[in-house]
Amino acid sequence: MNDFRTLLAYQKAFMLAMEIFKITNGFPKEERYSLTDQIRRSSRSVCACIGEAYRKRRYQAHFISKLTDSDMENTETQVWLDFSLSCKYIERTKYEDLIEKSEEVGKLIYFMIHNPEKFTAKSK
C-alpha cells in the first residue's frame, strides 16, 4: 500500500520524534509541561503535517502549505533542542546528532516543497 508512511521524510521524522521521546523521559519533572511537552509535540507534528500533506496531495498548493507547516515544526524542534543543550539536559554529542537528523529531515521536506509534482496526485 502506497501511503505517507512510505515517504522517507516521514520515516526519518518519525524515528527522530521517537528518539526525542526516549531522551525526554530523562528530563526533570519540572520541565514536564514546558520543554518536555513542547519538544515532543513539535517533533511529532513534523510527522503529522507530512501525513496531512500527503492526503492533500491532489491540490499542489495545499500540499506545499502543509509541508511548510512541517518545516516550521522541524525548526521549532531545533529551538527546543537548543534549550535542552543550554539547560544541560542533553550532552553536546547527542545534541549534534539530533540536530543533524533534524537537518536531514528538513532537506527532505525542502525537496518535497520544491518538487511537488513528484509527490502530488495526477488529475484524471
Instruction: Just give the CATH number of 4-116.
Output: 1.20.1440.60
Give domain limits for the chain: 4-116
pLDDT one-digit tens code per residue, 70-93: 999 999 999 999 999 999 999 999
pLDDT one-digit tens code per residue, 87-118: 999 999 999 999 999 999 999 999 999 999 99
Q: Do 17 and 105 touch, CB atoms closer than 8 A?
A: no
> Within its chain, how far is the Cα of 117 from the centroid?
22
Closest to 94 (Cα-Cα) out of 31, 35, 28, 24: 24
What's the pLDDT at 56?
A: 93
pLDDT one-digit tens code per residue, 10-37: 999 999 999 999 999 999 999 998 999 9
